[in-house]
């Protein structure tokens, strides 16, 4: 028997399968998907078994050395998926496998020296070795020099040790020995011991902790161990990130008519095992989550599993709560806020089939479920579903693949669907389900747009319009709560000289430095460059160099100056960097320890507090000015989402949007809560501009420290693409990127626009291979972004 293996070497030239012999003693236990150690050149490295073939190979092969884990890390589905991603995403197979598995699975490598003939070295050198091996990185230069002759003579050999990064946590437990229960009970005098034995006979295994909780002391247990009636064993312990939380049981709600229709359609597809895609378009609060919960319940009753993706769970603790309340221990939760160990445990709960539902962020789209019966992507329009680092992928594409593989339905849910998804629904590729009313029958909040230019003209230079000021005062007086939203994207704070207009830029990147008040520093968010804030203008020496743009911290100060009785909770990157901080701040706000919640993008989602009756958007339009074809769509989505935070209970909600562009269609349609109006108008711009969903895009970015080199290569790339692609595709550029230099690398881009391009993957693969070689030799870097989220 031989095995085809993907080896853990992150290099293009080994991005293929290597065949190894399966030694006879491993043949009966070897399974596809297992992690193994194989010889690779002079080294030993880790790899994954992709295929087992039961016949002889033409030539003699090196053998697999050993198996790392008895349970395969990868199931057949994930192996097939990695194959598909390798070709369609222009990504190395091992890089794809890497993102599918939790970090804890990957072993670490150490280079070691192994002492083959201990009697050949001096006592002093012998001391260095423990169990005849020593880690090379732990040796000093002198020690290395002393060992060198022995290495050359073959007395010491170089080797690689693979280490498990994350050990499984264990705890002590007790089980019955192989005994005759009746005889054993008769022989016992202590009632406590009898009771303990009976309970173990009943329940199989109990941990020491559980026994103690049931009042069986260590003495009772040890007595039984001594009589050889029971024995102590180690069992796997899982870290539960939510163990200190209690979740109330939550029952099904009676669905309202639109919800019922949506549920009927989806559960029909679940029952039929039909791979259909549903676009669930429902305004915030229309009861989408209730529909998810009830369809998932059906899936579980069917004996299947369900996967639910959310943009970033750390930001939506309420979603986790609702899932735990409904499905209890059957829910696994995966997001970036978990420790490596917690993540590993949640992942294994899924693999072992203990968890049947997973609520998770982007990368949990690779959750190792068997028998998936439903995949849900909530807030499907969110940009965070796209992984922007190599290997780039969009969770929606992966979900579609898995839906097809498992022959199960996929739900895309959103109050503001991406134009791509809505267009597909209009074409009938997806089935559109609409929830147009709030589930709790409370009215949609009223929205007012305030023109900040008028405020300026009327002499109001503060960041609060007269209308917003009055509304805030009113809510404070009534004891109601307020959410104030500061749009941070495209709104960084920078320094500006009022005399000469100078703005301090990063020396390595073509971008202005951001001012951080806490440390009084200027920082570059692209390369990490830091410097102290200058006292006078570096250009004209003027003292009038000041910060422009306002941060949340500044706004907090202003609120206290402006409003009596204000008590603010501020939520931004600074106040939420600690683990769990986000949840704590929200809990405080829910408990009404403050009346104003001030925050950035992160407060736009998922808040569902009954006492919020006013939402103020301080600066609606900063994002509109970004050079990105999706800037209107993003603005519309964000405003709609923020507005949805108001009036979630019996008190009526009101929203005030402050802007310098009150007539902009994205703002007007958001004000009127008119998705289809926005969709039609935006589609028109997309058609004219040849943007998605009318055209697909590929963004190629190439960079090098030498500007001439970049220009030269960019022309070559342009020519290559023109040569390969059909005339119906557009190859635009090369042009400097919006940020033309990052970390002293000059950056140019080429954008491909196409409707259908059979040669595309071949051309991109060719470029990827060609520039991989170039990169190795020449540090030229090419990145390929298929279906970019940002340009
Ligand atoms: P969405 O996910 O669309 O924002 P939710 O599912 O969170 O909407 O529902 C909004 C609120 O309405 C929640 O408090 C939820 O418990 C409640 N709700 C949803 N469906 C029903 C129903 N059928 N009957 C009563 N209340 C409901
Ligand atoms: Zn100046
Ligand atoms: Zn920089």
DSSP 323-369: HHHHHGGGEEEE-TTS-HHHHHHHHHHHHTTS--EEEE-GGGGG---
Q: Where are the beta strands (DSSP E) in 277-317?
A: 277-282, 305-309
Tokens (6 digits) for 42: 């002079």
Angstrom distances, CA of residue 350 to CA of 191, 241, 726: 40, 15, 45
Residue nearest to atom 9 of ligand 1 (CA): 287
Q: Which spans in 352-435 are helix H?
A: 395-406, 419-427
Using CA atoms, how far apart are residues 139 and 158, in angstroms rounded to an integer? 13
**Ligand 1 atom having least distance to the Cα of 435:** 3
| Span from the CA of 441 to the centroid of ligand 1 (angstroms) | 10
What was the pLDDT predicted at 434? 97
The ligand whose atoms approach the alpha carbon of 744 most closely is 3
Separation of CA 546 and ligand 3 centre (Å): 20
Cα 343 to ligand 1 centroid, rounded to whole Å? 29
| Ligand 1 atom with the shortest distance to the CA of 284 | 4
Q: 515: CA distance to ligand 3 center in Å?
A: 13
287 in ligand 1 pocket by Cβ < 6 Å?
Answer: yes
H or E stretch covering 125: helix 123-126
Question: Which of 545, 498, 491, 537 lies closest to 514, judged by CA?
Answer: 491
- Give the annotated binding-site residues: 497, 500, 506, 509, 524, 527, 537, 540
CA distance 694 to 697: 10
Amino acid 57: pLDDT: 77
What is the CA(253)–ligand 1 centre distance, in A?
A: 9
Q: Is 641 in the pocket of ligand 1 (CB under 6 A)?
A: no
Q: Ligand 1 in contact with 259 (CB < 6 A)?
A: yes
Is the minimum distance from the CB of 255 to ligand 1 under 6 angstroms?
yes
**Residue nearest atom 11 in ligand 1 by C-alpha distance:** 285
- Three-state secondary-structure class, residue 517: coil
Question: For ligand 1, what atom is nearest to the CA of residue 292?
Answer: 6
In this predicted structure, what is the pLDDT of residue 402? 98
Q: How far is the CA of 505 from the centre of ligand 3 (A)?
A: 8
Residue ranges of the annotated binding site for Zn(2+) are 497, 500, 506, 509, 524, 527, 537, 540
Q: Which ligand is nearest to the CA of 415?
A: 1
- pLDDT confidence of residue 579: 73
What lies within 8 Å, CB to CB, of 755 at 6+ separation is 694, 695, 696, 728, 729
CA distances from 719 to 59, 263, 706, 762, 782 (A): 43, 52, 20, 15, 15
Q: Cβ atoms within 10 A of the Cβ of 8, count?
A: 21
Give the contacts of 316 (CB within 8 A, at least 6 positions apart). 310, 605, 606
DSSP string over 621-661: TGGGGSS-TTHHHHHHHHHHHHHTTS--SSSPPEEEEEES-
pLDDT tens by residue, 48-60: 999 998 887 788 8
Neighbours of ion ligand 3 (CB under 5 A): 506, 508-509, 524, 526-527, 529
Cα angle, residue 275 at apex, residues 272 and 280 outer, rounded to 5°: 100
Q: What is the pLDDT of residue 315?
A: 60
Q: State the Cα torsion 576-581-586-588 to the nearest 10°.
A: -120
644 lines ligand 1 (CB under 6 A): no
| Residue 282, ligand 1, Cβ within 6 A | yes
Q: Are 503 and 622 in contact (CB under 8 A)?
A: no
Ligand 1 atom 4: residue of nearest CA: 285
Compute the distance from residue 315 Cα to the ligand 1 centre, in Å.
Answer: 19
- pTM for this one? 0.84
Residue stretches of the chain with pLDDT short of 70: 107-109, 160-168, 238-241, 243-249, 313-316, 489-492, 605-606, 647-649, 776
pLDDT tens column, 225-280? 998 899 988 887 766 667 666 666 677 899 999 999 999 999 999 999 999 999 99
Residue 349, pLDDT score: 93
């Amino acid at each position: 028997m031989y095995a085809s293996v993907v080896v853990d070497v992150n290099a293009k030239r080994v991005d293929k399968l290597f065949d190894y012999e399966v030694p006879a003693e491993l043949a009966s236990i070897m399974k596809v998907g297992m992690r193994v150690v194989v010889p690779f050149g002079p080294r030993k490295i880790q790899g994954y078994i992709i295929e087992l073939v039961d016949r002889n190979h033409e030539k003699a092969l090196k053998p697999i050395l050993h198996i790392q884990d008895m349970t395969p890390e990868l199931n057949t589905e994930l192996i097939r998926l990695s194959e598909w991603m390798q070709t369609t995403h222009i990504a190395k197979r091992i890089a794809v496998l890497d993102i599918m598995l939790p970090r804890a699975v990957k072993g670490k490598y150490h280079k070691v020296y192994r002492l083959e003939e201990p009697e050949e070295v001096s006592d002093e050198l012998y001391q260095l070795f423990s169990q005849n091996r020593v880690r090379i990185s732990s040796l000093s230069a002198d020690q290395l020099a002393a060992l060198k002759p022995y290495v050359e003579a073959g007395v010491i050999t170089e080797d690689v040790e693979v280490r498990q990064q994350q050990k499984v946590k264990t705890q002590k437990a007790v089980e019955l020995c192989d005994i005759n229960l009746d005889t054993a009970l008769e022989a016992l005098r202590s009632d406590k011991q009898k009771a303990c034995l009976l309970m173990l006979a009943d329940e199989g295994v109990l941990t020491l902790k559980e026994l103690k909780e049931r009042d069986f002391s260590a003495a009772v247990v040890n007595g039984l161990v001594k009589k050889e009636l029971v024995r102590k064993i180690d069992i796997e312990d899982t870290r539960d990130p939510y163990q200190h939380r209690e979740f109330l049981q939550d029952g099904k709600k009676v669905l309202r008519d639109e919800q019922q229709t949506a549920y009927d359609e989806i559960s029909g597809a679940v029952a039929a095992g039909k791979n259909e895609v549903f676009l669930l378009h429902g305004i915030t609060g229309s009861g989408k989550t209730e529909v998810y919960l009830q369809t998932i319940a059906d899936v579980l009753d069917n004996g299947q599993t369900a996967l639910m993706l959310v943009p970033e769970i750390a930001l939506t603790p309420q979603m986790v709560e609702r899932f735990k309340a409904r499905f209890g221990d059957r829910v696994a939760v995966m997001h970036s806020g978990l420790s490596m160990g917690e993540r590993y445990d949640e992942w294994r709960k899924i693999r072992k089939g203990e968890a049947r539902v997973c609520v998770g962020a982007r990368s949990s789209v690779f959750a190792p479920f068997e028998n998936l019966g439903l995949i849900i992507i909530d807030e499907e329009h969110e940009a965070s579903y796209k992984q922007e680092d190599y290997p780039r992928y969009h969770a929606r594409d992966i979900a579609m693949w898995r839906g097809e593989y498992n022959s199960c339905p996929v739900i895309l849910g959103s109050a503001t669907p991406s134009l791509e998804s809505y267009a597909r629904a209009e074409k009938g590729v997806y089935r559109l389900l609409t929830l147009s009313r709030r589930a709790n029958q409370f009215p949609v909040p009223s929205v007012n747009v305030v023109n900040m230019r008028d405020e300026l003209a009327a002499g109001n230079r503060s960041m609060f319009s007269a209308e917003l000021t009055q509304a805030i005062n009113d809510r404070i007086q009534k004891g109601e709560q307020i959410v104030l939203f500061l749009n941070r994207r495209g709104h960084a704070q920078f320094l500006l000289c009022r005399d000469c207009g100078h703005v301090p830029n990063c020396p390595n990147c073509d971008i202005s430095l951001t001012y951080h008040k806490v440390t009084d520093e200027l920082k570059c968010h692209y390369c990490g460059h830091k410097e102290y804030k200058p006292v006078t203008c570096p250009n004209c020496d003027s003292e009038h160099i000041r910060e422009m743009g306002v941060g949340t911290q500044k706004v907090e100060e202003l609120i206290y100056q402006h409003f009596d009785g204000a008590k603010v909770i501020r939520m931004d990157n600074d106040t939420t960097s600690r683990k769990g901080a986000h949840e704590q701040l929200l809990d405080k706000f829910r408990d009404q320890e403050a009346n104003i919640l001030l925050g950035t993008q992160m407060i736009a989602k998922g808040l569902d507090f009954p006492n919020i009756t006013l939402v103020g958007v301080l600066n609606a339009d900063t994002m509109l000015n970004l050079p990105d074809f999706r800037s209107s769509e993003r603005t519309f989505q964000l405003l709609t989402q923020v507005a949805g935070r108001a009036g979630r209970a019996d008190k009526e909600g009101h929203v005030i949007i402050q802007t310098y562009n009150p007539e902009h269609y994205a703002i007007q349609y958001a004000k009127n809560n008119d998705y289809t109006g926005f969709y039609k108008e935006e589609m028109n711009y997309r058609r004219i501009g040849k943007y998605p969903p009318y055209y697909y895009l590929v963004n190629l970015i190439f960079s090098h420290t030498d500007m001439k080199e970049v220009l030269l290569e960019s022309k070559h790339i342009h020519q290559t693409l023109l040569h390969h692609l059909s005339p119906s595709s557009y190859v635009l550029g090369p042009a400097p990127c919006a940020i033309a230099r990052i970390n002293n690398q000059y950056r140019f881009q080429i954008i491909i626009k196409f409707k259908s391009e059979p040669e595309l993957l071949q051309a991109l693969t060719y470029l990827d291979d060609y520039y991989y070689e170039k990169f190795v030799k020449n540090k030229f870097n090419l990145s390929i972004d298929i279906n970019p989220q940002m340009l």
